[in-house]
Amino acid sequence: MSSNDQTITRRHVPWKNSIQTKLAGVIALMMVLILAVNLFISSRTSSMVEKIDSVFASNVSIAELTQTLNSLEGYVYEYLNTKSSAALENYYRYAEEYRQLAEGLNDKNVDNPALMLEKNIRHMSMDYLEKTEKTVQAKRGRNVERYKAFYEEGALLCGYINAYIYELNNLLFAQNSENYQLLLNVLRFMEVFSIVVIILIVLFSMFVLIMMIRTMTAPLTALSEAARQVTEGDLNVAVPVVNTRDEMGIVTRAFNQMLASIRAYIERVRESMQDQSRMKERELSMEANLKEAQLKFLQAQINPHFLFNSLNAGAQLAVLEDADATSVFLERMADFFRYNVKKMNSDSTLQEEIELVDNYIYILNVRFAGDITYRKDIEEGTGGISVPGMILQPLVENAVTHGIRDMLDQGSISLTAVMEEGELRVTVKDNGVGMTREQIARIMEGMPSEEEDSGSTGIGLINVINRLRLFYDQEGLLSIYSEGTGCGTEVTMHLPVRPEKAVEDSAQMQE
């Protein structure tokens, strides 16, 4: 792990990289966006409503003008009628008010009908105010004809002004109605458009949020799928790399590292086991080679042909010297060793094996002055059965070496061979020291004897057991029975026999 990752895993994820921060940020942004849009639409709608409210303001002001004019005309008439100071005062007040209103009208020659009407109204109003002023002055000066004439002219102008105001009012009303309808249509469109925009923004916000959540949870989904595959045994799965520095990125990278570590560990263990296996193989091979080497060494020490020839020569010499017993002994020795070499790796018959045992016993009896009692009971027809070579003599040797060695002339060995239940049972029994259960068990488990016998021919019981197993491809072909120490030992071989093979072998033997 890099030091950076160590830092991140040891402490909290920086707030700016955290999933929490990202989600909160996006949600806040969406809220702000929706709020801003709402505020904007609200302000626009408010402006539009204000504009609509002001559309008919011009008609309102025109109505005020008419009202003031009519009031003014009324007070002029009242003054002329009653010459009251109140009427005069009101006249002056309304005249001033009307003047101010009139001066607020357009005074320019423009190509706009409504504004031109305003201009005309303004000029006529000024003319009217002049006339009314002269009327009042004439009244105050008691000039009846003058004030009557001025009043009539003023009344005429008042009529014209009212007619113009009426025409202007109608024109403005028509225009304002159009404007009102226009603004109303705009407002209605804005309402619909605003609703559509808000819906679109809300949908868009939801879409962005869903996209963002999917982006954040996609690595989590991939991670869970990868974990599921790992639980099913597939360690070669890999989670797509996430380059973010948030929690998901950390977990994803950690998971990938963990998987890589597990695979590396498994690989190391596998290599170690392979190494161990190779070592064991080599050890076995070495052991086999060693034994072969030992054997070759032994064989190399004794040249079999020289031995045979020497023994035969010795036998012939014994004959020449009339030493018949010696000659027989040497012949039997030669036969024994010839058979030993010839049958090491080849099949033999039971009869041949028994003859070897006979030679062996003869040789031993010569050495030990006939102390070994040897009996055999061989069923007829069994002599020709094919058996592995060098399996009987080691059993007899074992009985002699370990069983009756120290029994002087009390030791006896019996050899029996019978056919039972389709198998050849060959039993070598002695009345020697016997074997304990532990000894029997050691031998059956393939553990070599603790004693190294220098007089042995070198092929032990274990070797016989192994060769029987290899020859017949079966287990349990040899059994050892002993009642205990001092009770002798009985070693039995259970050799499978094929009937046609037995008949063929027997016929060959008879020939």
Partner 1 sequence: MKKVFFLLASGLVIGTGLLLALWIYSEQGMKSVEKQYSDFSDHDQYYVLISQDRSDLWSTVYESAAACAKEHNAVLDWIGLDAPVGYSVEDCMRIAASSGASGIILHQETPDDLTDLINEAARKEIPVITVLNDDSDSERISFVGVNNYQMGEICGRQVIDSLHEGKNEIMVLNGEGEDDGSFGLMYTQMLQVVDSGKTPDQEVVFQTQKLNTQTSFDTEEGIRDIFLRVGALPDVIVCLNPIVTECVAQALVDYNQVGGVTVIGYHDSDTILDAVSKGLIKATLSIDAEEIGELCVEALDEYWTLGRVSDYFNVGISMITQDDIPETEKEGDPSEEEGDRGSGVTG
Which residues in this chain contact partner 1 in the complex, by CB under 8 A?
22, 26, 29, 33, 37, 40-41, 44, 47-48, 51, 55, 108-112, 114-116, 119-120, 123-124, 127-128, 156-157, 160, 163, 166-167, 170, 175, 179, 182-183, 185-186, 189-190, 193-194, 197, 200-201, 204, 207-208, 211-212, 215, 244
Q: Which residues contact 441 (CB under 8 A, 6 or more apart)?
A: none
Is 181 exposed, middle or buried (CB count within 10 Å of its CB: 0-12, 13-18, 19+)? exposed
Minimal distance in Å, beta carbon 123 to partner 1? 4
The answer to whether the beta carbons of residues 385 and 351 sit under 8 Å apart is no
The answer to whether the beta carbons of residues 360 and 397 sit under 8 Å apart is yes
CA distance 391 to 371: 24
* Closer by beta carbon to partner 1, 213 or else 507: 213
Cross-strand pairs, 348:
387
* Closer by beta carbon to partner 1, 29 or else 503: 29
Phi, psi (deg, nearest 5) at residue 33? -60, -50
The answer to whether the beta carbons of residues 108 and 119 sit under 8 Å apart is yes
DSSP string, 43-61: HHHHHHHHHHHHHTHHHHH
Minimal distance in Å, beta carbon 156 to partner 1? 7
* Closer by beta carbon to partner 1, 186 or else 444: 186
Minimal distance in Å, beta carbon 273 to partner 1? 46
Minimal distance in Å, beta carbon 209 to partner 1? 9
* Closer by beta carbon to partner 1, 244 or else 479: 244
CA distance 128 to 80: 16
Amino acid occupying residue 25? G
* Closer by beta carbon to partner 1, 145 or else 420: 145
Q: How far apart are the first and last CA of the chain?
A: 85
The answer to whether the beta carbons of residues 413 and 374 sit under 8 Å apart is yes
* Closer by beta carbon to partner 1, 22 or else 469: 22
Minimal distance in Å, beta carbon 53 to partner 1? 12
Phi, psi (deg, nearest 5) at residue 425? -105, 120
DSSP 8-state symbol, 424: E
* Closer by beta carbon to partner 1, 243 or else 301: 243
Tell me which H or E stretch contains 444.
helix 437-444
Minimal distance in Å, beta carbon 226 to partner 1? 21
* Closer by beta carbon to partner 1, 150 or else 374: 150
Q: Is the dihedral of CA 66, 72, 77, 81 positive or negative?
A: positive
Minimal distance in Å, beta carbon 238 to partner 1? 21
Q: Under DSSP, is residue 487 helix (H, G, I), strand (E, B) or coil?
A: coil
Minimal distance in Å, beta carbon 113 to partner 1? 8
Is 492 exposed, middle or buried (CB count within 10 Å of its CB: 0-12, 13-18, 19+)? middle
Q: Which residues contact 58 (CB under 8 A, 6 or more apart)?
A: 172, 176
Minimal distance in Å, beta carbon 4 to partner 1? 20
Minimal distance in Å, beta carbon 245 to partner 1? 11
* Closer by beta carbon to partner 1, 194 or else 312: 194
Quick count: other Cβ atoms within 10 Å of Cβ 335? Answer: 18
* Closer by beta carbon to partner 1, 185 or else 274: 185
Amino acid occupying residue 343? K
Q: Which string of b and e fits 79-106 if b means at least 16 CB within 10 Å?
A: bbeeeeeebbebbeebbebbeebbeebb
Minimal distance in Å, beta carbon 187 to partner 1? 8
* Closer by beta carbon to partner 1, 36 or else 264: 36
